[in-house]
Amino acid sequence: MYPLIILDELINRCPKLINEIGREQLTQFILNRSHCLLSNSNSVVCSLLEKFSLNTNYDLIKEISSMSMKQNKKNHRTQVEIIDCGPSGLLLGALLFRPSIDSIIIEEQSRSDVESNIRAGVLEQSIIDLLDEIDINERVLKEGIIQRCINIQFNGERISVPITEYTEGKVSTFYSQNLVVQDLIESRLKTNQRLWFDVEYARIERHDKTDDGQRPLIKFRRRNSSKEEFIECDFIAGCDGGASKCCRHSIPKDEIRTIRKSYPYSWLSILVDSPPDGYEVVYSFDKTDGFALQSLRSPTKSRYHLQVSVDDKLEDWPDERIWSQLNKRLTLKDKSWKLNEGAIIHGALFPVRTSMITPMQYKRLFLVGDAAHIVPPITAKGLNVAVKDARILAEAIIDVYDNNKFDKLNNYTDKCLIHISEAEEFATYMTSLLHKLDLSNENNEINEFEEILQRARQQQSQQSSALRRLIAQMFVSLINLENILHC
C-alpha cells in the first residue's frame, strides 16, 4: 500500500496532479493496486477516490468502505495466494510487495520446522543480485562462502576448473537454503505481510474467475482447529514442493504431462562438524565404488554425498563405513590430500531423480519450483531454478495489474522452460559423467556401451580446456534471466 499512501500525500500537497495525470487513469491505477485490500488500507483508497470527483467512484467508495465491516474474519481476500513458504514462495511474495501487490502465504509446517529444514544452497550470481535488489542481502554477503573454483577427480586424478577465470569474474555462493528462508521470513514479517504457519488440509476449490465474478478460492484449516477458512484471490502460486499435495494434484490429469527419470542409485548425504579441506568443492568418480562429493556448508561445517544403492537404508551406513568410503573415493593417487573427518551431525538418504511438469499453469494456478520440476542434485541448481520461476511469475503478475496485459502470464511456462531445460541438461550431463553405472541388470550390453562413452567423456574433460570452460559457465548459468524476462 505504500505507493497509494505516497500518492495520497502528493495530491494533498499538489492537487493539480489530478488534472495533469488524469482522473480516470488515476482511478484505474488505484483499483489495480487495491483490488483486494487489507482492511486498514481502505481509508487510503476511499480518500483518493473522493479527491477525483468522478460520479462513477461514489459506488466504489461505498463498497470499499463497507468491505471490512461485512467481511467474516474466517474469509480472507488477497490478490495472490501463495501456497507454502519455501524460497520460491517467499521470494515471489517479496517481489510482489515492492509494487504493492498483496499476497497471503500459507504453510503446512511450523515456522521452526521450516527454518531448520537443512538443504544445500549454492546461489548463482544472478540470485545474489536479486536478493540485493530486494534488500535481503545483508547476511548472505557476510556469511556466504564464495566459490571461485571446483575440482573434478577421476580415479584419484584431480583437475581444477577455475570458475571465475572462465566466466569473466562470475562466482557462486555457498549459503544454506534454510538461511535464505530465514532471511525472507524475517523480512516479510517485519513488513506485516500475512504469513500463516501450521495450516492443514489446504485445497483449491476454484482455479479460475467465474462468469458471475467469483474468483479463485482456497479452503484450509489451521492446526488443532475444525473451522474451515477461505481465501479468495486473483491468482494462485503453487510453491508446495516436489510432493505438491495441494496444487499439482488439484489439476486434472489430462491437463498436464509429467516427464520423469529415475536413476538406479541414491545419495547418502551427511553434514559434518568440521571444515572442508581448503574450502574447495571436489567431485569425484571412482570406478570401483562410485561417486563422492565434498561440498561446503559454513567455515566450520562440511557436506558430503555418496552414491549408494537404491535399496540401502540409513542403518546400513554406520559412521565408520561412511568415512571409509569417503576416503577411498576422494583420496588422490599421490596421497597428497587428506579428508577432514569430524562428528556426523545429520544424515539422510534420497533417490536421484529428475522430472518436469508441462504446462506449469492451469487456469489461474501457476506451479513454481519443485512443484513443477526436480533437478538432479549434483549441480545444486534446484533453488536457483525455483527462484527464477518466481521472478518470471512476479514480472507477469505485475504486468497484469500495471497494464492489464496477460501476455507474459500466458507465456509463463514457455519462458520458464528456457532456464529449466538448461539446468536439467547440465545436471544430467554431470550425473552421467560422475556416477558408476549399474551393470547388474539385464541390459548389460547397453550399459557396457554407456560405460565406454562415459570414459570418453571423462577423458575429454581432463584433456580439453574448452570443455572445462563450458562446465564452469554452466555452473554459473549461461542464460541471462533479464533477457528471458524481456523477450
Q: Which residue, among 392, 404, 415, 92, has the nearest Cα to 238 in the 3D structure?
A: 92
Q: Is the distance from CB of 52 to CB of 23 less than 8 angstroms?
A: yes
Residues 370 and 83: beta-carbon distance below 8 Å: no
Q: Burial, 303: exposed, middle or buried (Cβ in 10 Å; 0-12, 13-18, 19+)?
A: buried
- Assigned C-alpha cell, 276: 572442508
Identify which of 235, 180, 226, 246 has the alpha carbon closest to the alpha carbon of residue 207.
235
What confidence tens digit (pLDDT) does each residue in 401-435 have? Answer: 999 999 999 999 999 999 999 999 999 999 999 99
CA-nearest of 111, 84, 77, 81 to 96 is 81
3-state secondary structure at position 7 = helix
Q: Are 81 and 103 in contact (CB under 8 A)?
A: yes
pTM, entire model: 0.85
d(CA 154, CA 312): 24
At 1 the pLDDT is: 46
DSSP state of 180: H
Task: State residue 36's pLDDT score.
Answer: 44
Name the strand (E) or helix (H) holding 305.
strand 301-308
Instruction: Give me the pLDDT at residue 430, please.
Output: 97
The enclosing H or E element of 217 equals strand 217-222
Grid cell 524476462 is found at 485
Instruction: Give CA–CA dist 286/291, Å, rounded.
Output: 6
Q: How far is CA 90 from the centre of its chain?
A: 9
Tell me the domain boundaries of the chain: 2-71, 80-117+176-259+356-429
CATH of domain 80-117+176-259+356-429: 3.50.50.60
Q: Is 335 exposed, middle or buried (0-12, 13-18, 19+ CB in 10 A)?
A: exposed
Residues 151-196 pLDDT 10s: 999 999 999 999 999 998 999 999 989 999 999 999 999 999 999 9
Task: Give the helix/strand (H/E) hosting 23.
Answer: helix 23-33
Reduced to 3 states (helix: H, G, I; strand: E, B; else coil), residue 296 is strand
Nearest Cα to Cα of residue 472 among 145, 125, 144? 125
Provide the 10 A C-beta neighbour count for residue 406.
11
Give bridge partners of residue 87 from the DSSP assignment.
none
276 phi and psi angles, rounded to 5 deg: -70, 155
> Phi and psi at residue 149, in whole multiples of 5°?
-155, 150
Low-confidence ranges of the chain (pLDDT < 50): 1, 36-41, 55, 58, 61-62, 65, 68-72
Q: List C-alpha distances in Å: 207 to 7, 27, 122, 253.
A: 33, 28, 34, 15
CA gap 268, 289 in Å, rounded: 13
Structural contact between residues 366 and 89, judged by C-beta atoms closer than 8 angstroms:
no
CB 247 within 8 A of CB 372: no
- 302, 292 in Cβ contact below 8 A? no
d(CA 105, CA 370): 17
Q: Phi and psi of 93, rounded to 5°?
A: -60, -40
